[in-house]
Structure formats: C-alpha cells, structure tokens
C-alpha cells in the first residue's frame, strides 16, 4: 500500500506492508547509488516480514527515491528528520537499515535498531570518492551532492544496534548470515535466500524485544 508521512519540509511517500497493528519495521535503504541496487531486496524482506505477521514501511526520505526535493538539496539533518517523522506514524516502530542507511535512524523514536553491514559516514564519503569521475565535480554516479552534505557525513556514526554481517566479514556482529553483498553488484539485483534469512532474523529480534 502507498502511504505518506509529513515532516518539516513537506510530505513524502511511504510503502506499507503487513498488518495494521503491532510492531512496525521502518526500513532505511543505503544512500544514493546503493539504494537502487538494494530496493527490490528491501521490499522482499518487508514482504517476508509481513508474511510473518510483522508490519513494515519503506519511506522515501527527503532528497532520495521519489522525493520532490532534489538530491542536491539533501542534508543529513533533513534525512534524519524525515526518517524520524516516518517513525512517529507508528506506536511501536523498529528501525532496520542497510549500509549507510544506518546513519539515518540516530534521532528516530524507535524501540530498537537492527543494521545490516552498517557503514560510518567517513566510509561512505570514501566510497563516493571512488565512484566519482576525475572531472565530475559534485556529481557522484548521477547524484549531485552538496559539499555541506559530504562534510556532515565525515563525522557521522551509526547508533548502537543489533548488527548483522555477512560471512567473511570479521567485524563484530550479533548475527552472521551467508550471502553476497548486493550493493557491490553493477546492476540492481535481489537475493531471495538472503532476504528470507534476514526476515527470520529480524522477526526473531523484534519478538525478543517485545517479550
């Protein structure tokens, strides 16, 4: 179902999944080009959660997705405020974020956070630097980003969360799952097997939090 939420900068669209009551998992895609590569994957996860009786929502954030705000006008406070506003639509929201999406839930009024392979803002800026052409200025693979936004990311850190990583990643994690990083692929893709593992992991985590 297509829904919406309001924030200080206007109104943004939001996809809704699953039941109308109970806990709701609010999803944050990774930022910029990685969002395109993982959107179908995130939607699959939220549909699988709905099959398990847990509602989900995928908001378009200010300057991302189908937002009317140009990407060049996006700010880190605006992205965080948009995610927080989407969470206020629900009585018991939980945040689930992939990669740099983990930088956006820090101010959200959530009952818990779950992050898949979270990145720091400094790591995001380095990734963006690698994909930008030598003469592209502030154009990063089709995303025009302001210098203020990039500067804000330099010190941005994810909040403490239930952390999920993929096999082969030696960093600390609460759960490690078998799967390949879709955000590294050249084109948008999906991984139903990994999505199922994640849906089961998130559902068990939410139920443990609710207990």
CA angle 22, 204, 100 (to 5 degrees): 90
More confident residue, 136 or 25: 25
* Mean pLDDT (whole number) for 89-105: 97
Dist. CA 34–CA 185, nearest whole Å:
9
pLDDT digits (tens, 9 = 90+) for 177-203: 999 898 988 788 899 999 999 999 999
Other Cβ atoms less than 10 A from the Cβ of 113: the count is: 22
pLDDT score of 134: 65
pLDDT digits (tens, 9 = 90+) for 111-129: 999 999 999 999 999 988 8
- Determine if the pTM surpasses 0.85: yes
* Mean pLDDT (whole number) for 68-89: 95
How are beta strands 143-144 and 139-140 bridged, if at all?
Answer: antiparallel
Of the candidates 170, 165, 155, 140, the residue with the CA atom closest to the CA atom of residue 106: 155
For residue 135 the two structure tokens come to 């003469």
pLDDT digits (tens, 9 = 90+) for 15-56: 999 998 899 999 999 999 899 999 999 999 999 999 999 999
Query: For the chain, which domains are there?
Result: 2-210 (3.40.50.1820)
CB 59 within 8 Å of CB 13? yes
pLDDT score of 135: 56
């Amino acid at each position: 179902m297509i829904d919406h939420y309001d924030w200080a900068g206007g109104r943004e669209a939001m996809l809704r999944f699953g039941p109308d009551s109970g806990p709701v998992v609010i999803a944050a895609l990774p930022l910029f080009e990685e969002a395109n590569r993982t959107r179908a994957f995130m939607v699959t996860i939220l549909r699988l959660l709905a099959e398990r009786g847990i509602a989900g929502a995928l908001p378009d954030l200010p300057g991302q997705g189908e937002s009317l705000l140009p990407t060049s006008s996006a700010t880190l406070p605006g992205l965080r405020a948009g995610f927080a506003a989407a969470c206020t639509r629900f009585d018991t929201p939980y945040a689930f974020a992939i990669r740099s999406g983990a930088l956006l839930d820090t101010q959200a009024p959530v009952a818990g956070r779950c992050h898949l392979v979270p990145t720091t803002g400094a790591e995001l800026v380095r990734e963006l630097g690698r994909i930008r052409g030598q003469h592209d200025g502030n154009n990063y693979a089709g995303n025009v980003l302001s210098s203020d936004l990039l500067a804000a990311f330099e010190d941005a850190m994810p909040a403490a969360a239930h952390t999920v990583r993929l096999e082969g990643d030696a960093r600390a994690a609460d759960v490690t799952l078998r799967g390949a990083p879709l955000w590294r692929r050249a084109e948008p893709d999906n991984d139903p097997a990994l999505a199922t593992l994640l849906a089961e992991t998130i559902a068990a985590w939410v139920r443990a939090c609710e207990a």
